[in-house]
A and B are shown apart, each in its own frame.
Chain A
Amino acid sequence: MAKVLMKGCEAIGEAAIRAGCRNFFGYPITPQTEVPEYLAKRFPEVGGVFVQAESEVAAINMLYGGAGMGKRVLTTSSSPGISLMAEGVSYIAACHLPVVLVNIVRAGPGLGGILPAQSDYLQATKGHGHGDYKLVVLAPSSVQEAVDLIYEAFDLADRYLTPVMVMGDGMIGQMMEPVELPAMRDLDDLPVKPWATTGAKGRKPNIINSLYLKEEECNANNWKLKEKYDEIERNEKRSETYACRGEKLDVLIVAYGTMARICKTAADEVKRVDKKKIGLFRPITLWPYPYEALAKEALKAKRVLVVEMSTGQMIEDVKLAVLGKRPIDFYGLTGGMVPSPDDVAAKLREILK
């Protein structure tokens, strides 16, 4: 298939359409507004329905309604909007409904800034809504990967009946890169959803509900969710390594998303100039986090350097993976500042001393 030069946000919208999504509910917020704008124009061409909701709170609840009707539904937002969606996502998870969310992360906290950041890691993987549930979180590092992960996210969501988040950052949303778009899915070929509220004709009514006043029933739902998350943890952990093939590294960099690409350049630079062995570990699923794969790679290195566009969020999971077996350093810039390869190289050189 030919490659098309597309803006990240627009590619995300198109990927969702290809995956069989014909319903979008969202709200404008920089830096992802181009997704609703693209879909507002494109949906009529494919028989889709676009609704600009009155707020992200409304949007996530519209998603809940649409998902319960058995449709593939999408919402996109950025950090403050994602905060507003927390309650809704908790409900969606508790009801075992499939939805796809996209967070194009911007600087926080509070109103923050509109430039890229990676400061929503803990929100997505450890926090967000209330209760014992998990969000599957996928982190692309290029527009092509964003397209591929969005396309797959709908399948993951339907397979496990759970909300899936694709977490990009402002760079993924705004930059233009050549992408190969996946084939358009046949809408008649999507997974069957007998639990959906499509009208109680010839069957007992279906009820989409997360209220369990009897504690034994609520406990049971929680463990049912846990079973599902255990299965996802067994099957869906993904990560990638770069230049880790030797047994001995001086430093293993751990970074995700666009930071991984920047760190790759920095690693190459330090390898070439300083003749040091620098490897990179890039988690692709932030939840379930690939602890085992990271632990294995970390043992090859003398030290581990975590690089994030935050003051240190993923580093907590890195520490869990490494379990004190190697010293861990951190380099981060946030608030919309993006570390350059030179910045990362400088930090590498500092810790190599």
Chain B
Amino acid sequence: MKKIFGYPESLTPSPTHYCPGCTHGTIHRMVAESLDELGLRERTVGIAPVGCSVLAYNFFNCDMFEASHGRAPAVATGAKRCRPDMIVFTYQGDGDLASIGMAEIIHAANRGEKITVIFVNNAIYGMTGGQMAPTTMPGQVTTTCPFGRDPGHEGYPIRVVELLNTLKTSAFLARVAVHTPLSIIEAKKAIREAFRLQSEDVCFTMVEVLSVCPTNWGLTNTESNKWLEENMVPYYPLGVLKRPDGDETPTPETVASMEGA
């Protein structure tokens, strides 16, 4: 028999500490598959955030950094400017990227650092126990907006890829989701495209991934998928928002099988 779907080389064998059904695992796997398919593992360095994925350095089988909260794009800038021949990616959550790290992500994107940013948006702060994030939806209950987020008091959620889309610097900006198998397939295309563009030295690349957090949303897996579909997707539209200048529709290679890579 032939194996057509197996364990990526760019993931360590370690089981993850993420909650059952947490889509961090899916996203980690897709990043790892992309690195494998493009043959990038041996010249990649990833930068872990502070958040649920703080221990990402235990799961990715490549050189890794642990950055301080929000500063991963700055660490990535330092790494990439010192070694432009390497593939540098950051993996960040909503607090890390859209709250404390807002200045760093905007400026890394604006300078056009040729890095890949994976932004996991689950509309809440997971690791610290379910507080409001800049991406929390209006009406959503969290521990620091226990009566539901009130736009009059807490403002509206921030749409990060749209924000970065106002910058003139060339970039690849996409938003995807991972709550259904078909959305995961689209997500994989965007993530691989982002790494492919970096491997060809094209531009800043970022993929925002709408994800679930069943534990802190207080919902089952099935309910979480539904909640994401009904509440987040309408507000955070999916799709590729920006492609590098002068580029027509990029055509990621279709991979027929997971074997080899």
A residues apposed to B, CB below 8 Å: 23, 25, 49, 51, 53-55, 57-59, 61-71, 73, 87-88, 91, 197-202, 205-211
Contacts and interface: CB of A to CB of B under 8 A. Distances in A.
B186 to A, nearest CB: 29
A55 B103 contact: yes
B82 A49 contact: yes
Contacts of B61: 200, 205
Contact of B64 (A49, A66, A70, A208): A208
B75 A51 contact: no
B71 to A, nearest CB: 4
B76 A65 contact: yes
B104 interface: yes
B41 A200 contact: yes
A58 B82 contact: no
Nearest to B44: A199
Q: Which 10 A-B pairs have the closest CB atoms?
A: A65-B78, A62-B78, A197-B63, A61-B74, A201-B42, A61-B71, A65-B75, A65-B79, A54-B107, A66-B78
B123 to A, nearest CB: 25
Contacts of B64: 197, 205-209
A210 B50 CA distance: 12
Contacts of A88: 68, 71
Given A58-B104, A199-B43, A199-B44, A73 B66 contact: no
Contact of B71 (A58, A67, A70): A58
11 contacts: A53-B77, A57-B71, A58-B103, A62-B74, A65-B77, A66-B78, A88-B68, A198-B63, A200-B41, A207-B65, A211-B66
Nearest to B86: A199
Interface hub of A25, A55, A58, A91 (most chain B Cβ within 10 A): A58
Nearest to B88: A65
B93 to A, nearest CB: 15
Contacts of A68: 45, 65, 75, 78-79
B75 A201 contact: no
B255 to A, nearest CB: 23
A198 B45 CA distance: 8
A51 B81 contact: yes
Contacts of B75: 61-62, 64-65, 68
A197 B42 contact: no
A200 to B, nearest CB: 5
A211 B50 CA distance: 10
B78 A64 contact: yes
Interface string B64-100: 1111100100111111111100100000000000000
B47 interface: yes
Contact of B83 (A54, A198, A202, A211): A198
B54 interface: yes
Contact of A207 (B57, B67, B82, B111): B57
A256 B165 CA distance: 51
B57 to A, nearest CB: 5
A54 B82 contact: no
Interface hub of A62, A202, A207, A209 (most chain B Cβ within 10 A): A62
Contacts of A69: 45, 78-79, 82-83, 86
A53 B82 contact: no
Interface string B35-60: 00000011111011000001101001
Interface hub of B41, B42, B75, B76 (most chain A Cβ within 10 A): B75
Contact of B81 (A66, A91, A200): A66
B79 to A, nearest CB: 4
A293 to B, nearest CB: 37
B62 interface: yes
Interface hub of B60, B77, B111 (most chain A Cβ within 10 A): B77
Contacts of A87: 68
B74 A65 contact: yes
A67 B111 CA distance: 20
Contacts of B47: 65
B42 A199 contact: yes
Contact of B74 (A58, A197, A208, A210): A58
